[in-house]
Structures are given as structure tokens and as C-alpha cells.
Amino acid sequence: MAKVLLENVSKVYAGGVKAVDDATLEIGDQEFVVLVGPSGCGKSTTLRMVAGLEEISSGNIFIDGKRVNDVPPKDRDIAMVFQNYALYPHMTVYKNMAFGLMLRKYPKNEIDQRVRKAAQILGITDEQLQRKPKALSGGQRQRVAVGRAIVRKPKAFLFDEPLSNLDAKMRVQMRAEISKLHDRLKSTMIYVTHDQVEAMTMGDRIVVMKDGVIQQVAEPLGLYDNPRNMFVAGFIGSPPMNFFKGAIEQRQGGLWFVEQAPGDGKGFAIRVNDDMAKKLAGYVGKPVVFGSRPEDINDKQHAAFAEPDQTAAATVEVVEPMGAEIYLYLNTGRHSFVARVNPHQKADVGQKLDMAFDMRKSHFFDSQTEQVIV
């Protein structure tokens, strides 16, 4: 296996469209790194440049310490798994998995050994090995595509949204299978997805991208608990973080966040905890954005963290029972937000509630730069 290094890599298409902008990223040997972001953020282009399927406009890419800018894809010793499986329809599953080794003139007995070992790892039966792809389900076809990559024993595996064509239940199953595969093979894996749940559950580290720029690189919980900016905070988490526009004011010997909306005066006021107040000392009288995750908001009657000066009145607009929890969609009159609460709590549409905020877990962002205030 190998370390993959990107140094100031950019990709500019005709007309000056910049798909990837000065990306620097080090992926360690045997590490599982997930590139995540909305459509068009440059994640798949980044992966394709590592694979050699896209030429880079500037910068350098190294695989196992070797600069590969001008090395053709077939000589980079990587294996790629695509969203659409890319299987040969006229070949059996066995031949699909063996084909790359056959082209490289491997001995027949070694090919057979590798194919059957990969099939065993992935739960592909002997009977399925003799079928053609059209006789398989979507999940089985994706297993074959992964198996074709495994038999190569490459330095790195690249996955380009491999689960997007599967139904929800199969996606959950396959992401667990790929995670187990990584643990078993001890391989370097780079995985692209637009699904932040996949990213959070699979990656050793997550790379969040927007408009071709890497926004933040961190371990899943580090990313969730300490987002660098509003984009990361809003993209990671389901439901996403709630944002409230307002300002910091000095009141009653402490700092308070006061909700505001353009042309609409002031709304609720919440006292800021002492630790956060130190960070916000330079923002008194200035506009900020207050962020709070849905699980850190609850009806004050049920919230263990409820404080009398850290609540806001809101009206319930939608109640979504999710089984293990309930999502309450609320409105303060200026901002809509969502709270994730206990499934046994009762709430009705139109009901007015005093919602408590866990200010120990609050986030504040500069309203101009959208960067976290630290």
C-alpha cells in the first residue's frame, strides 16, 4: 500500500472554469479518506486526477513517493470503482474479475486463486461467478466491481460514489462491507461521496470541499464538533446545524446574543457562557451568526441543560416522528430551526414552546467571513 500526496493541485478547464483550486492533501498509508461536498465541488475531479483520468493544470501528485503527473493510469498501480459498476456485459462475473490479470499475463492458477479469494471476501458464490452481470442485483454488481479492484492488489483504491445507484437499505449494507474490507485489506482508500452520512460513518478523516476548494480536513467527530466555517457546520450533520443572525450585546454584567433580522428589530436574547464570552469580547456591538445543532435544543421542560436566560419562544410548524426521535420544526418569528427531541415528548403544530439552548455547545461565526470565531 502507499501514501498519496497532492501538492497545490489545480484543474482549470477551457474558458477558465476552475474545478479544483490549489488542493494540498496528504493521505497516509492504509488510511481511509473521504472527499465529500455538494455536486460540482471538485471532489470527483480530484479523484480522477489521482487516477490519471484527468490531467492536472498545476501542482504535483505523488503515489508511494513517486511523482505521477505524467504517468499513465495503467502504470499508477491504483484500482478505481465507479458509480455505474463498468462491468463487461458479455463476460461472466469470473471473467470480469479476472480480465485485468489476464491482460497482464498472470499465470492461470494465480488468477483463479486471486479471483476466488476476492469472491470469498465479498460473499460472491461460485454459482454467481458463472452468471453475467445482467443476472445480478445492483448490490451484487457493485461487489463484483469491488472484487475486480481487489484482485489487482493495487497500492490504492479509489471509489467514485460507488453506492449512489443502490437503494437505501443496500447502501447501508454496502458501506459497512467496504469499511470491513478496508480493515481486512489494510489498504489506502480514497472515497468520494455527496452523502455526509457515508462520510461520517466510513472515513478515518473527511475532506470537505466547496467550489473546488478544500474547506476542512479532520476526523469525523472533530469535524462535527469543531467546524471551521458555516459551510462545514451546515453540510455535516443531519438535520444540519441551525443558524441565527444577530449581534453580541453587553447586558447584566455578561455577553448576550440578540436575534435580529433585516428591518425587523430584535428578537430573543440568550446569555453566552463565560468561556465563549471570552472569544466574543471583540464582537460586542457587531453582527454574528449563532449556530446550534438540533440535538442541543429542547423544550425547557425536558432539557437537562435548561437555564432561564438561555431559552427562546418558538412556534411548532411541523412534527416529524422518526421512531427513535422526533424532529420539531419551529419558528421564532424571524428564523426557522429544527430540534431533535425524545420520541415520547408531546408537541402539536401551532403550539408555542420555550426552547432551551445548550450554550455549552454553541458555535459563533463572523457574519462577514462566515469563519468560526475562535
List average pLDDT for each run of 10 residues in the chain, which is 374 residues long.
93 92 96 95 96 96 95 92 87 93 92 93 91 90 90 92 86 89 92 93 96 97 96 94 96 90 75 93 94 96 87 96 95 94 92 95 96 93
Domain check: are 150 and 224 in the same one? Answer: yes
Domain check: are 43 and 68 in the same one? Answer: yes
Residues in contact with 88: Cβ distance below 8 Å, sequence separation at least 6, in sequence order = 95, 96, 99, 133
Q: List the CATH number of the domain containing 260.
A: 2.40.50.140
Report yes or no on 236 lying in a domain.
Answer: no
Compute φ and ψ for 141, nearest 5 degrees: -65, -40
Question: Which alpha helices (DSSP H) does the chain contain, by range?
Answer: 43-51, 93-103, 108-122, 126-129, 138-150, 168-185, 196-202, 220-225, 230-235, 274-279
Range of the domain at 70: 4-231
Report yes or no on 142 lying in a domain.
Answer: yes
CA distance 245 to 265: 12
End-of-domain residue from the set 194, 209, 231: 231
What SS3 class is residue 219? coil
What pLDDT shows up at residue 24? 97
Domain check: are 162 and 207 in the same one? Answer: yes
Domain check: are 137 and 221 in the same one? Answer: yes
Domain check: are 95 and 119 in the same one? Answer: yes
Residues in contact with 163: Cβ distance below 8 Å, sequence separation at least 6, in sequence order = 142, 170, 171, 174, 175, 193, 195, 198
Domain check: are 207 and 284 in the same one? Answer: no
Domain check: are 99 and 214 in the same one? Answer: yes
What pLDDT shows up at residue 8? 97
Domain count, the chain: 2
Residues 46, 160: contact at Cβ < 8 Å?
no
End-of-domain residue from the set 186, 208, 231: 231
Report yes or no on 45 lying in a domain.
Answer: yes
Report yes or no on 157 lying in a domain.
Answer: yes
Domain check: are 219 and 289 in the same one? Answer: no
The pTM (predicted TM-score) of the whole model is 0.91
Domain check: are 146 and 263 in the same one? Answer: no
Domain check: are 223 and 319 in the same one? Answer: no
What pLDDT shows up at residue 303? 86
What pLDDT shows up at residue 306? 78
What SS3 class is residue 247? strand
* Cα separations in angstroms, 36 against 144, 154, 191, 267: 24, 23, 8, 35
Domain check: are 103 and 126 in the same one? Answer: yes
Report yes or no on 372 lying in a domain.
Answer: no
* Cα separations in angstroms, 90 against 9, 133, 141, 144: 39, 8, 14, 14
Query: Strand pairing of 326-331 and 311-321?
Result: antiparallel
Domain check: are 149 and 46 in the same one? Answer: yes
